[in-house]
Amino acid sequence: MRKAIVIVLVVIVLGGIGAGVYWYLHRNGETVAAKFRLAAATRGDIVSTVSATGTIEPVELVDVGAQVAGVILSFGTDVNGKTVDYDSVVKEGTVLANIDPRLYKAALDSAQATLDQAVANVPKAKADLDMKKAVLEQATNDWNRAQALWNTKSGALADTTYDQYKATYETAKANVEEDIANIKVAEAAVVQDQAAVDQCKTNLAYCTITSPVKGTIIDRRVNIGETVVSSLSSPSLFLIAKDLTKLEIWAAVNEADVGGIYEGQPVKFTVDAFPDQTLTGS
């Protein structure tokens, strides 16, 4: 009985819906005709778009750093005679910045003084060797005469005197060998001190930071008065783009779209500075 009542209610509801639709379509006495649009068959391309966002970077970018520590005293000038800054055009060898060179100049002066002393020690050591050779020559002659008298068995030479000549000869011989070694030490000191001077000169030259390439500065990361600290890694001071006509886009592409990208594919993109202008690339 209950099932029959449910069926009757469903039929009544459906009938009411049908009556409402019929009244809506014929309320003005007109029927709503179906509309169609006709067109000729044509052939064209279906474009699949891969959207991504990213940043534009120069293809060739040079990071200029500092190899010594110190305070930035001043900036150089670009090819237009203006102080080096953002968007400055520089060429190879252009001075970008100057670091306080006083500590490195003092170190160079100290190393140079040590080198001068080492250079002066070489002829002094050679002069000492010549003197010791003369002493050895005299001691050798005395020792030879003492041996000759000793071999005659005449008793003209006392045992103590014989031993004294022998000791003098051996000492003079040892002194000559010592001075030969001292000359080598003095010459080695010159080489070592010369290397220290060269290192100090190099550090002093590093106080003047120059551009290694021709290009445009796109980032200046230091100001006058700041202290540059050079430790295990060289601090970055300037970013130079070698050629701003060659740019590349670093974009994050969705993993599902990677399969639709291939080398040489045409690319259209916009930048925030010119949102209404569409640029092209590959």
Residue 32 lies in a domain: no
Distance from C-alpha of 221 to C-alpha of 86, rounded to nearest angstrom: 10
Domain identity same for 109 and 200: yes
Render 153-206 in DSSP notation, one character per residue: TSS-S-HHHHHHHHHHHHHHHHHHHHHHHHHHHHHHHHHHHHHHHHHHHHHHHH
The whole model's pTM is what? 0.67
Is pLDDT above 60 for 32? no
Domain count of the fold of the chain: 2
Residue 129 lies in a domain: yes
Residue 50 lies in a domain: no
Report yes or no: 85 and 143 within 8 Å, Cβ to Cβ. no
What CATH number corresponds to the domain at position 220?
Answer: 2.40.50.100
Is pLDDT above 80 for 157? no
Domain identity same for 74 and 194: no
Biggest CA pair distance of the chain: 169
Domain identity same for 241 and 108: no
% of residues, the chain, pLDDT over 90:
40
Residue 116 lies in a domain: yes
Residue with tokens 């699949």, as numbered in its chain: 48
Q: Could you tell me the two tokens for 119?
A: 């250079």
DSSP-derived 3-state class of residue 226: coil
DSSP-derived 3-state class of residue 140: helix
**Cα Rg of the chain, angstroms:** 48
> If you average pLDDT over residues 191-211, what whole number do you get?
95
pLDDT of residue 106: 96
- Of 174, 204, 234, which residue constitutes the final position of a domain? 204
Domain identity same for 213 and 95: yes
The model's pLDDT over 210-268, given as tens digits with 9 standing for 90+, comes to 999 999 999 999 999 998 987 656 788 999 999 888 889 998 888 888 888 889 988 88
Distance from C-alpha of 55 to C-alpha of 249, rounded to nearest angstrom: 6
The model's pLDDT over 102-141, given as tens digits with 9 standing for 90+, comes to 999 999 999 999 999 999 999 998 888 889 888 888 888 8
Domain identity same for 133 and 219: no
Range(s) of the domain holding residue 211? 61-99+207-245
Residue 222 lies in a domain: yes
Lowest mean pLDDT among 50-59, 63-72, 101-110: 50-59
pLDDT of residue 176: 86
Is pLDDT above 60 for 196? yes
Query: Which of these, 68, 60, 49, lies nearest to 107 by C-alpha position?
Result: 68
